[in-house]
Chain A
Amino acid sequence: MAGSYDVIVIGGGHNGLVNAAYLARAGKKVLVLERRYVLGGAACTEEIVPGFKFSVCSYVVSLLRPEIIRDLELPRHGLEILPLDGTFTPMPSGDYLWRVNDHGKTHREIARHSRVDAEAYDEFGKAMQAMCRFVKPILSMVPPDPTTLNPRELMKLLFIGRRFQGMSSYDKYNQVQLMTMSAIDFLDQWFETDVLKATMSASGIIGTFLGVRSPGTAYVLLHHYMGEIDGAFRAWGFARGGTGAISNAIADAAREAGVEIRTQSAISQIIVKDGKAKGVVLSNGDELYADVISSSVDPRLTFTKFIEAQHLPGDFLEDVNRYKYRGSSGKVNLALDALPNFKCMPGPGAHLRGAISISPTVEYMERAYDQAKYGEFSRRPYIDMVIPSLTDPSVAPPGKHVLSCFVQYAPYKLRPGLNWDDQKEAFGNTVIDTIAEYAPNIKDIIIDKMVVTPLDLEREWGLSEGNIFQGELSLEQLFFLRPVPGWAQYRTPIKNLYMCGSATHPGGGIMGANGRLAALEILKDVKGAA
């Protein structure tokens, strides 16, 4: 035997690392196996162009659970979150919408577009906070099984029911709407300014293959509203040193707790004997054994690549195959010689320090989706840009900048005749052309670019079909239905095998809750057995 562990965690993304850290702190001997040369999974920083550090995939953070920051003492391990202030939406008309964290300024800015909306915006903020307060504890809870009469599960349902009952009827009304409506139908009730609705609705579609008018997107809007860096709702930030710094801090905490981490250690198989997981086989043929295997990779890899079908019930496998990924986004990272210069607000300024959103109208957003439905990337996509080098100079050489562009829609499945390897260049150019409509100097200041397609996300980061959340955040794949109905409590039909990645409740984003909740469930079972 090459080695024996209490737990082997497959995948060194942020959830895998959180999972490992919690298990090690409970006294377990834990090994993390990461296939790539760098830790963090999709939360990584890489120096692709010399001197420029890209947060290659995930680029902002807000959902990281405060209890994890506290428990793992992440600030002591080097985590520093820098504020990302505001959202700037340039418009083709030469106007813009610029919302910042300063209440008075935002109020005046929205009032410039619509007085009614400025008033409604405050109300909206309050209503959303109430919604977040209702949903937040659910993020930190293991989903109940609604089909059993087990008192523990019933108590959980009762807990949710009571919390719902405890809300005012106004909040109940909003909550029910948020769970069922489309982002635009929901926002239509509050606002009249098209550009405001378009930009706000954008957070309702991130990581889903839905348009802003599709029911279910209002929930995703809430999911993204829930950020709570330093306890302030809705605050997004950068990690100093790029998103990878978050993973590194967690890895540091894990190592301190005694976790062994190996990079460039791809596994090829999970060893199953008599319905129990026993260990893993590395791609070099080595076998490693452990009492518990915890997989942070998605269900497709875990159950159809690493495990032979014979070990799994047919029904379960059918559900695993039915689980929807459908990546819809890509990423373009640019190394810039200077700052982009926006026609509607020329020169450098604070508007470049926040998010810059290319989402000028609701129709623009919807048309971007229409193209993707039929298997093409959007000719004029929704783009969420940030320039982290303005806030954190360590990520680019002096005077130079990093521009990170999240792009939707880039459907994983292109129509017959097209493939991503051929389309990659055109996709990157489309993004640059789109930006150039608002900031014409962009083409002159690009030193180098890195285009990440959904296919790249699958090949390089192991995200099936390029879904950044390890599976769509659609209502039928949430809570006790995530990832597979009946298997939402981190356990699997194979004894001693657990899931701890974004494909489990509460879903994607750099939250870490999945890894933590899975660790707590594993510890329950292990203690029960001992």
Chain B
Amino acid sequence: MSATPRDIVIIGGGHNGLVTAFYLAKAGYKPLVLERNPQVGGAAVTDEFHPGFRCSTLSHSAGPLLPSVVRDMQLHQHGLRLITPDVCVTALSPGGRPLSVYQDVNKSAQEISAFSQKDAAKYAEFEKSLDKISKVIAEALATTPPDIDHPSSGDLWSMLKTGRAIRKLGKKDMFRLLRWGPMAVADLVAEYFETELLRAVVAARGIFGTFLGPWSAGSSLVLLIRAAADSHPAGGICFATGGLGALTQAMAAAAQAAGAEIRTGAEVIEIRVHNGVADGVLLATGEEIPARAIISNADPKRTLLKLTDPMHLSPDFVQKLQHYRGNGTVAKVNLALAGLPSFTGVNDTNALKGRIHIGPEIDYLERAFDEAKYGHFSRQPYLEVAIPSLSDPTLAPEGQHVMSIYMQYAPYKLKGDWEQERKALGQTVVQTLAQYAPNLPERILTHQIITPRDLEENYGMSGGQVFHGELALDQFFTMRPLLDWARYKTPIENLYLCGSGTHPGAGLTGGSGANAAREILKILKK
């Protein structure tokens, strides 16, 4: 190798890679971000999928982002405009009255009281407990998981701090935290609510993106992790003007302003390792870039089993990583619409500005999951729909709209071939929606269908798993991605992880990237 080694190479310009790049640059290093695609952003990108129609191709909601990340990166100065609609979510009911939940608890309670007075009161109570508990979890998510075998004094201190925060909850909420984690989310919502629609819309947060149904134990944990970013029981939505691509563009601008360099269209095909030490990357073009440290925003399996020759790892580690669970269940469908469809029972367009939830009963959600267990996509799927053009008219020509739909469950491991099932998947989604918005089909100008297979091939997500690995009790905290490898290091010296496959990992929060940067800086400064 002739070139002088770079300080740091970051593989992948997804949001976590950009966050890590920013913090490292701010600390005086010169990280180089290498992104395979023509634009940075990973799963947070905006594409014009039909002339005049732009849509957040994959993720349609910012996590919400960690406030510290937004502040440190001064994303607003770099052009980011976030829109948080007043309505969190509207849950549709076939033939019945839809239920809207708002950012404002009292307004939500008022709306819920039309279904059940009892639930209205319970909603406020649940929100209060969830708010307290999720704050403690948020604190744990922002720390680096401790070293299990040899906890350092810093580890003990942060464990003590977390312990103190937990103690401050008081006996009742402390027990709630302990009890809720391993529970089935269907049980948790049943403890609070009697209205099936409300149960279903809250429970859906516990299954989103996972290979779990609402009756699967441990789904409550997923709800808690998501509540750490947004403690509304039903969870809201947060758009970026111009789609989520604008968010990662702002992040890229912030990172560059701090001194990071970004190269797009630069695909890393190998991480070079000599004597157990990573010392460079090889691009698809044949170019080699030597580096003192390599940080991968790609998922753990892709990083360590594909980009690295596994012979540099112990067989035991390889075996464990192969068992890191990450078979995706989410497909994405984006629609360009000639006009806004009318949803039965929805009289106020404002109700459609938040998330639109389709999955009216717990059993509906569970049945959708049942099919995925046996390798079929759900015939009556659970859908999370957003119409971002209602809040951001720049996305579509006037009077026209884009609709962004998460479809679950679409198992990565399908009995059959995803290429052949692609069309059927799109039809199922449209037919399901048409049960709630009968005139939708005639308004569709075009549709874009992204299967779990596409997520793997085009976005590098192993198994099409949107979180870079199933979010579950056994793959959380000190176990993400593997027990005792939760501190952003890998068994290969100078090779680090910063993507969603590391703690805390859930969604577009920037948490993994920020935590990774902090840990890596500690090591680099030694």
Residues of A within 8 A of B (CB): 146-147, 169-170, 172-173, 176-177, 180-181, 185, 188-189, 210, 213-217, 315, 322, 324, 363, 366, 370, 373-374, 474-476, 480-481, 485-486
Contacts and interface: CB of A to CB of B under 8 A. Distances in A.
A465 to B, nearest CB: 14
Given A180-B472, A181-B472, 13 more contacts: A146-B174, A176-B483, A177-B483, A210-B217, A215-B212, A216-B218, A374-B367, A474-B182, A476-B181, A476-B183, A480-B178, A485-B175, A486-B175
25 contacts: A146-B178, A147-B174, A173-B483, A173-B484, A176-B479, A176-B483, A177-B474, A180-B474, A181-B472, A188-B323, A210-B217, A213-B216, A215-B182, A215-B473, A215-B474, A216-B182, A216-B217, A216-B218, A363-B374, A370-B370, A474-B183, A474-B217, A481-B178, A485-B179, A486-B171
B215 interface: yes
A214 B178 contact: no
A172 B187 CA distance: 30
Contacts of A217: 217
A159 to B, nearest CB: 17
Interface in B206-248: 212, 215-218
Interface string B139-177: 000000000110000000000000000010001101100
B165 to A, nearest CB: 14
Contacts of B183: 474-476
Contacts of A169: 148-149, 483-484
A54 to B, nearest CB: 33
B217 A475 contact: yes
B35 interface: no
A185 B474 contact: yes
A481 B183 CA distance: 12
A417 to B, nearest CB: 15
A486 B175 CA distance: 8
Contacts of B218: 180, 214-216
A474 B219 CA distance: 13
A370 B367 CA distance: 9
A481 B473 contact: no
Contact of B148 (A172, A374, A476, A485): A172
Nearest to B322: A189
Contacts of B474: 176-177, 180-181, 185, 215
B280 to A, nearest CB: 30
Contacts of B472: 180-181, 215
A324 B215 contact: no
Interface residues on B, range: 35 or more
B191 interface: yes
B363 interface: yes
Nearest to B179: A476
Nearest to B151: A165
A213 B373 CA distance: 9
A139 B179 CA distance: 19
Nearest to A189: B323
B182 A214 contact: no
A145 to B, nearest CB: 9
Interface in B468-483: 472-474, 479, 482-483
Nearest to A481: B179
B423 interface: no
Given A173-B483, A180-B472, A474-B182, A214 B215 contact: yes
A418 to B, nearest CB: 16
Interface of B: 148-149, 167, 171-172, 174-175, 178-184, 187, 191, 212, 215-218, 316, 320, 323, 325, 363, 366-367, 370, 373-374, 472-474, 479, 482-484
Nearest to A217: B217
A373 B171 contact: no
A197 to B, nearest CB: 14
A366 B316 CA distance: 30
A322 B316 CA distance: 43
Contacts of B325: 185
A505 B17 CA distance: 46
Nearest to A218: B474
Contacts of A180: 182, 218, 472-474, 479
Contacts of A216: 182, 217-218
A324 B187 contact: yes
Q: Which of A177, A210, A374, A481 has the most CB of B within 10 A?
A: A177
Contacts of A370: 370
B473 A476 contact: no
B216 A485 contact: no
Contacts of B215: 214, 373
Contacts of A176: 474, 479, 483
Contacts of A214: 184, 215-218
B133 to A, nearest CB: 14
Nearest to B220: A476
Contacts of B366: 373
Contacts of B172: 315
Contacts of B171: 147, 486
A215 B475 CA distance: 12
Nearest to A478: B182
Given A210-B217, A373-B366, A475 B373 contact: no
B196 to A, nearest CB: 14
A185 B472 CA distance: 12
Contacts of A315: 172
A481 B216 contact: no
A475 B472 CA distance: 14
Nearest to B182: A475
Given A180-B218, A185-B474, A315-B172, A476 B483 contact: no
A215 B217 contact: yes
A67 B167 CA distance: 36
A188 B325 CA distance: 11
Contacts of A185: 325, 474
Q: Which of B175, B184, B217 has the most CB of A within 10 A?
A: B217
A485 B178 contact: yes
A203 B484 CA distance: 29
Nearest to B479: A176
Q: Which of A188, A322, A366, A370 has the most CB of B within 10 A?
A: A370
A322 B175 contact: no
B351 to A, nearest CB: 31
Contacts of B323: 188-189
Contacts of B363: 373-374
Nearest to A170: B316
Nearest to B475: A180
Contacts of A481: 175, 178-179
B169 to A, nearest CB: 9
Nearest to B484: A169
Nearest to B478: A176
B310 to A, nearest CB: 17
Contacts of B373: 213, 366
A185 to B, nearest CB: 6
A174 to B, nearest CB: 9
Contacts of A181: 472-474
B483 to A, nearest CB: 5
Contacts of A485: 175, 178-179
Nearest to B174: A147
B320 to A, nearest CB: 7
Q: Top 3 closest A-B pairs, CB basis?
A: A475-B182, A485-B175, A180-B473
Contacts of B482: 173
Nearest to A484: B175
Nearest to A185: B325
Contacts of B182: 180, 215-216, 474-476
A147 B175 contact: yes
Given A172-B483, A185-B474, A189-B323, A476 B216 contact: no
B411 to A, nearest CB: 13
Contacts of B374: 363, 366
B346 to A, nearest CB: 30
Nearest to B218: A215
A471 to B, nearest CB: 13
